[in-house]
Amino acid sequence: MKDLPAFKARPPDAVRDYAARVFIRHEPGHVGDTTLLDLIAYPDGHYRACFDPAYFTLAEGRQSPSKSQWSTLKKKMKRHDRGVFVFKAHGETTIPGGRPCYYVDFGFFAA
């Protein structure tokens, strides 16, 4: 595994605002609704965004997002802030209370 870059923590409200903007839905009836459910800060300065599966529009018959959909999300995160590093790992988890969700980890470059 390659060494990860150094991360710089940002004010919690700024990180939450960033993540809320990234996880916006664009479907009719939900335009502008964020799917961000939880944001977890880690001691090394990186974060985990937990979001509602409704963020992704799944093709008929699909049970989970495609590799392309995950890639598009990661590119979107970088467009919203060029100083963000997005981890390769992503997936499914649950938030407190047992609600299923997806997650993606990210951090902001220290330099």
Residue at 17 is within a domain: yes
Residue 108, in any domain of the structure: no
Residue 30 lies inside a defined structural domain of this protein? yes
Q: In this structure, what are the phi and psi dihedrals at residue 42, rounded to the nearest 5 degrees?
A: -110, 155
**Reported confidence tier of residue 15, pLDDT bands at 50, 70, 90:** very high
100 found inside a domain:
no
67: domain range? 12-95
Rounded mean pLDDT, 63-70: 94
Q: Is the pLDDT of residue 111 over 90?
A: no
Residue predicted with more confidence, 82 or 25: 82
How many domains is the chain built from?
1
Q: What is the dihedral of CA 11, 12, 17, 20, to 10 degrees?
A: 150
Taking alpha carbons only, the member of 82, 102, 89 closest to residue 36 is 102
Position 102 in a domain: no
In a domain, 1, yes or no: no
104 occurs within a structural domain? no
Global confidence as pTM: 0.90
Neighbours of 24 (CB within 10 A): 15
Domain for residue 3, yes or no?
no
